[in-house]
Amino acid sequence: MGTNASEIELDSIYEIESLNEGSLHQKLSEMGCIPGTEIEKLFSAPGGDPVAYRIDSYILGLRLIEASQIMVKRVK
Amino acid sequence: MNWKRIALIGNPNCGKSTLFNRLTGLSQKTSNLPGTTVDSYEGKLPGSNTTLIDLPGIYSLFTNTDYEKVVVKNLLGIDSQNPEALYFILDASNLRRNLLLLSQVAELGIPTAGILTMHDTALRRNIEIDVDKLSELLGIPIIIFNPRTAKDITPVKLLNPVIGNKIQETANFKERLETFVKGTLPEGISAETLLRYNQIDGIIKQCVTRKTKFSAVNTLKIDKVLTHPVTGILAFLLVMLALFQSVFMLAEFPMQGIEWAFSFLRNQVEDWLPSNSTIGNFVSNGIISGLEGVIIFVPQIFILFFLIGILEDSGYMVRASFLTDRIMRKLGLNGRSIIPLVGGFACAIPSIMATRSIRNKTERLVTMLIVPLMSCSARLPVYVLLISLVVPVGVFWGPFHAQTVLMTAAYFAGIFVAIVMAFLLKLFLKNKENSEFILELPTYQAPRIQTVLNNAWIKCKSFLQEAGKIIIVISMVLWGLSNYGPSKAMQNAEALSQLETANGNPDSLQIKYSLKLEASYAGHLGKFIEPAIQPLGYDWKTGIALISSFVAREVFVGTMSTLFQSNEEEDVVGIRQKMQAQLNPATGKAQYTPAYAVSLMLFYAFALQCVSTVAVLKKETGTWKWSIILFTLYGFIAYLSAFIAYQILS
């Protein structure tokens, strides 16, 4: 079982491995969440959801359920 | 080289609208495409006969919302004239994602020129772009241009759009777009997106060097405070309070100015056409008051949209959505619903217009439909009068000031029904688009006041042009109802009032107005509906006031004061005393009891008693359907709750 983006920790850098098939696949990929892209958790809203991620060079807010569609692996 | 129509296209938050404002200034106007409520703007490029079109900011052509459809339709020339050339706005700090849209647009073979914005931000983040190389790889001319600071727009005017390279070619691209506009997402879009990104990454490698890793230090520092569980929520509440207070209080001064100007105008007209003549009455009370009823909203609309503009432009608005998403989602709303809902406490009109920034159609609709339940400032004078009928000033219930408790209760009654309505609407309205957050959090920036002012003014113009007409027409009908009546009744009223004048009654003028209103069609209507509203504790006078206050809720107070022959129109104490002295002819007891007041407060809290709201709902939903449904539904809720309250309390 790999890690998905909703589970990642602050202050470490991950890389996107794949996106789960489903209705969000297209939207997430056009927002630049494609395999090989760096992803990092920056901060979250009160209550822990949604979460702000760095995708390559910009900040993207995602609900946890949306982030769980992104499979990642730790780089640093 | 002399293009007639050039469209500006790019991602959201790339500085496109700022550039458009910088280029066109005040010459811009909105243009709604048929069948959508998405605005695109048009304006003239100064010193040329080129029309610039500001298309909505999007990330990709193939996302299923109205925004993308508007852009695609524009590019293909469906329902509108297609642009001859494009200015493609590229955010230098975020080039990779920006190039996705460019790679799609490039396939259409429209002459394009690139404008690289946010170049200073990119440099600050140690992102260096080889612009010549980029231009060579894309096959289009590209300039670095900062619309926030640029003094001269000549570089943009000198741009010469050409047909660029196809970055990643897809078979039958145009046909795919046409299928998409008809409503079906073509096959294999995700795979196509991946291929595009592969090519884009190749381009990025050749012309972008990044010395250090991501370093949007300032934005992250600000976000640490503004999204923090304590300071973030505190800041959010402060912003909302400031927003509400500003619309409520800042608008008061210009609104008084408008009232003053119109009463001055009426006095001037009076010299030419005395208001006791039919034409004079029609001109000053029908036409001029109708106009006033429209223009009076302009300060609130302007101030709300000015403030929203500042919040949007600075980047805070998205954070507000980010903070509130969890709660709003549960209600079937959107983080962006919060602004219209807070604004609704000041006035529903600009707030309903402000829902345009909610991109999900269903979430936008639900927000629009519950905004009128927020107790707006026009209900305040009605509440004040009615509360004074329940308890006198200075009474305390425990530690609480009784009048304040009742006022707060009235506000919460509206909020409570709004929450219930949101839940119900969530069940009944299928959300066709996915409820999703997926939102870019742009870099914080100092808002550009010129752009914000321009946009606020455009909102006022579109309100005046579209909703204004409906408001004037309905106001004039209501004017007719309260000024004309069956001729016999009107003659009787006239004769009676002349008798009073002859007897030297000092209040004869007030008596005349009161008698005439009673004899008018509105008076007859009031009496006609009396049996229906009797179970709520209302008499025919209340009936007349209910009907006439459809123009604006606060008119209730004025009508009651006319009917009670009060000297001072706005003197709550005077009307209250006269109302309290009134006995119910059937029972011989007081007519206007606390039960009556509570019942009527509930009625005003819920009923859609406002022609302007009805008109704006029609404008923003594009059909009369929702205006009619809401009017009926909220009328029913109002009636039912008023009925229950009166029956229990009396």
Percentage of chain B surpassing pLDDT 70? 96
Chain A hits for B93, Cβ within 8 Å = 57-58
Q: Please give the residue that has the higher pLDDT: either A52 or B342.
A: A52
Chain A contact for B446 (CB, 8 A cutoff): no
pLDDT score, position B432: 65
Q: Min CA distance, B436 vs chain A (Å)?
A: 8
pLDDT score, position B395: 84
pLDDT score, position B505: 73
ipTM, 2 dp:
0.95
Chain A hits for B202, Cβ within 8 Å = none
Q: Min CA distance, A60 vs chain B (Å)?
A: 4
Rounded to whole angstroms, what are the CA distances from B562 to B201, B293, B492?
74, 19, 18
User: With bands split at pLDDT 50, 70 and 90, how would you rate the model's confidence at B571?
Assistant: low
Strands B400-401 and A51-55: unpaired
- pLDDT tens per residue, range B359-408: 788 889 999 999 999 998 888 888 988 988 888 877 888 888 888 889 88
User: With bands split at pLDDT 50, 70 and 90, how would you rate the model's confidence at B59?
Assistant: very high
d(CA B318, CA B451): 18
**With 0-12 CB in 10 A as exposed, 13-18 as middle and 19+ as buried, what is A56?**
buried
Q: Does the beta-carbon distance from A57 to B63 stay under 8 Å?
A: no
> What crossing angle do the helices spanning B189-207 and B95-105 adopt, rounded to 10°?
120
Q: Does the beta-carbon distance from A57 to B96 stay under 8 Å?
A: yes
- pLDDT tens per residue, range B80-96: 788 999 999 999 999 99
Q: Min CA distance, A38 vs chain B (Å)?
A: 10
DSSP conformational letter for A10: B
pLDDT score, position B568: 52
Q: Min CA distance, A50 vs chain B (Å)?
A: 7
Q: Pick from B392, B322, B334: which is nearest to B365 by CA?
A: B334
Chain B hits for A54, Cβ within 8 Å = 214
B567: three-class secondary structure by DSSP: coil
Q: Pick from B68, B120, B58: which is nearest to B89 by CA?
A: B58
Mean pLDDT of B429-446: 82
Using CA coordinates, name the residue in chain B closest to A63.
B437
Which of B228, B325, B438 is closest, CB to CB, to A27?
B438
pLDDT score, position A50: 93
Which of B60, B228, B229 is closest, CB to CB, to A30?
B60
d(CA B123, CA B127): 5
- pLDDT tens per residue, range B148-192: 888 889 999 999 999 999 998 888 898 888 888 887 878 888 889
Per DSSP, the residues of B325-381 read HHHHHHTT--GGGHHHHHHHTT-HHHHHHHGGG--SHHHHHHHHHHGGGS--TTHHH
Q: Does the beta-carbon distance from A50 to B62 stay under 8 Å?
A: no
B326, A45 in Cβ contact below 8 A?
yes
Q: Does pLDDT of B323 surpass 80?
A: yes
Has this prediction a pTM greater than 0.95?
no
Mean pLDDT of A21-26: 86
A6, A64 in Cβ contact below 8 A?
yes
User: With bands split at pLDDT 50, 70 and 90, how would you rate the model's confidence at B51?
Assistant: very high
d(CA B110, CA B108): 6
DSSP conformational letter for B94: G
Chain A contact for B439 (CB, 8 A cutoff): yes
Q: Does pLDDT of B276 surpass 80?
A: no
- pLDDT tens per residue, range B607-627: 998 988 999 999 888 889 999
Q: Does pLDDT of B33 surpass 70?
A: no
Chain B hits for A26, Cβ within 8 Å = 62-63, 185, 189-190, 193
d(CA B648, CA A27): 54
d(CA B512, CA B126): 79
Which of A27, A31, A43 is closest, CB to CB, to B227?
A43
Tokens representing residue B631 in the block: 């009017």
Instruction: Tell me what percent of chain B is helix, strand and coil, each rounded to the nearest 5.
Output: 65, 10, 30
> What crossing angle do the helices spanning B594-606 and B402-428 adopt, rounded to 10°?
40
Taking all residues of chain B, what is their mean pLDDT, rounded to a whole number?
Answer: 87
Q: Does the beta-carbon distance from A29 to B194 stay under 8 Å?
A: yes
Q: Please give the residue that has the higher pLDDT: either B329 or B222.
A: B222
- pLDDT tens per residue, range B512-557: 778 888 888 988 888 899 999 999 999 988 998 898 888 888 888 8
Q: Does the beta-carbon distance from A63 to B96 stay under 8 Å?
A: no
Per DSSP, the residues of A24-65 read THHHHHHTT--TT-EEEEEEE-TTS-SEEEEETTEEEEE-HH
Chain A hits for B216, Cβ within 8 Å = 59
Q: Pick from B87, B78, B83: which is nearest to B115 by CA?
A: B87
